[in-house]
Chain A
Amino acid sequence: MDEDVAIIGVGQSVFARKCGVSVRELCFQAYKEAMEELDITRDDIDASITCSAPEYDKQRTPSGLISEYLELTPKPAFYVESVCSSSSTGVRIAWSLIKSGLHKVIAVIGFQKMSELTSREAAERMGRGGDIIWESPFGVTMPAGYAMYARAHMAKYGTTEEQLARVRVKNSSYGARNPKANYRKELSLDDVMNSNVITSPLKMFDCCANCDGSSTVIVARGDIAKRVSKTPIWVVGLGAATDTMTMSGRKSLTGLECSQEAGKQAYEMAGLKPEDIDVAEVHDCFTVSEILAYEDLGFAKPGEGPGLIDDKETYVDGRIPVNVDGGLLSKGHPIGATGGSQIRTIVRQLRGEATEAQVKGAEVGLVHNVGGVGQYGNVTILRR
């Protein structure tokens, strides 16, 4: 097990519409939580990986800044980006760097301070999220991309807007108990159904909110992990895949192929099946995204995802609890920090520390983190 790789520390800031501190201070909040519980100091960390979506950052090349502020210099600092799944990509790179023997303990720090941009600047960047030659000139947006998946799923399988709304009702019930979540109100089915249409069929409460936030995941070589952590959480499966930037390049519009492929890789590496997963965090940037994830990750057959939420099988006491921390929908979505926050939730679940909504006896957990409208897919399987 010495050659294996484990997560030994996790932390996240409170996610909020406006954090009111600088990027380095925001990152410190998550780093502090991750390090406080460990019997190591910054001297034991031999590299850092910073993860964010640079189009939202004022600071150029933030990895150097974070390395200095945490006094990690002269250790090497790397920077990775896969939009909304940046910090899952960061954990994958950390795993490889440790497995290769180059490094022993790596801090993966994800952040985004969306409030650094004016809403006009944010809207300008939103317009460049698609292929800027072929699709952005038509006015494509992130919600519009997922709305087209929603519409295709509804047409093929008879999925209803109420079924989508039920995902938000579930996630809001857990978000209300999460002290780190941006949105802490419970929402009823009527609240969601009566909210303004953003891009049909998605309404305001079908969508997550942009946020400020940070996350930290400390990844370590097995022998060190066992020495310094009471309950190391082992990284047993990793999957990563891409799909086309253009919407016209997608072969399927009723599921994300990058999720299916990343999931397949992760299950294979872990030697596990969907039914072995005790608790999951999936990328619910929109309600439909969670339904697609149920199917893409094998928790339900294609077309049967809506049945899982109808039957409350993804609640904390259901067959496969999903996003019982509120998900992106309630926590908010600070792009570069999101994957690390999802990993934090699963690590706390597997340690039995998720006091707000603990899945009893959870041993194996899955994290599904998607960048863009299904452009980058990452699946990470963790085991106690």
Chain B
Amino acid sequence: MGFESFGTVSFTAEAKVADFVTYLEQGKVMATRCKNCGAEYFPPQMDCPRCLGTEAEWFELKGGAKLITYTTVQYGPSGFEDDAPYTLVIVDFADGLRTFGRLSRDIKESDIKIGMELKVAPVKQANDRISYEFQKA
């Protein structure tokens, strides 16, 4: 499976990192580490511009994550009309990887605080789509 089922609306399917979606199905949100030089990437990538390696291993994004910033979108683009309002966030993991995604709808906008502790989890969406979101730690 590729990226055709990822997120609310997907725009492309094929990628060498399509296993990201397979891991999501298995309940894991993954990043990559270059097998040659050890550089870590999120978003994941198989190719390493630092050492020109083309193989990477997957590792799970786990542990404490902290909210860096957010916005609650009231008007979404095409395909997101019924989705809004939704909250987009940037989150840092303890090991330094910075990630982007959605905040769980279980957290009210008035309860959002920059610096709050979060965890990442895969979420199944309508129409057999899959994504990940950030939830209260």
Contacts and interface: CB of A to CB of B under 8 A. Distances in A.
Interface of A: 120, 123-124, 126-128, 131-141, 144, 147-152, 155, 196-202, 246-250, 253
The 4 closest A-B pairs by CB, nearest first: A137-B7, A127-B77, A147-B71, A152-B69
A249 B84 contact: no
Contacts of B109: 200
Nearest to A130: B100
Contacts of B54: none
B127 interface: no
Given A133-B43, A246-B43, A139 B83 contact: yes
A198 B9 contact: no
22 contacts: A127-B79, A133-B43, A136-B7, A136-B11, A137-B7, A137-B8, A137-B131, A138-B102, A139-B84, A139-B86, A148-B69, A152-B114, A199-B71, A199-B73, A199-B74, A200-B109, A201-B71, A246-B43, A246-B100, A248-B42, A248-B98, A249-B98
A198 to B, nearest CB: 6
Contact of A127 (B9, B84, B90): B9
Interface string B1-28: 0010011111110010000000000000
Interface in B28-44: 42-43
B90 A148 contact: yes
Contacts of B98: 248-250
B7 to A, nearest CB: 2
A156 to B, nearest CB: 9
Contact of B77 (A133, A141, A155, A246): A141
Given A124-B79, A151-B114, A250-B90, 8 more contacts: A133-B3, A139-B76, A140-B100, A148-B90, A152-B68, A155-B115, A198-B74, A199-B74
Bin the interface of chain B by size: 35 or more
Contacts of B11: 127-128, 132-133, 136-137
Contacts of B88: 138-140, 144, 148
Interface in B95-111: 98-102, 109
B59 interface: no
A131 B88 CA distance: 14
A155 B8 CA distance: 29
B114 A248 contact: no
Contacts of A201: 71
B100 A248 contact: yes
Contact of B9 (A133, A137, A155, A246): A137
B15 to A, nearest CB: 6
Contact of B10 (A131, A137, A144, A155): A137
B101 A132 contact: no
A123 B72 contact: no
Given A124-B78, A140-B88, A248-B98, A151 B70 contact: yes
Contacts of B102: 138-139
A264 B86 CA distance: 37
Contacts of A250: 90, 98
Given A133-B3, A139-B84, A123 B78 contact: yes
Contacts of B76: 127, 139, 141
A147 B80 CA distance: 18
A200 B131 CA distance: 23
B74 A131 contact: no
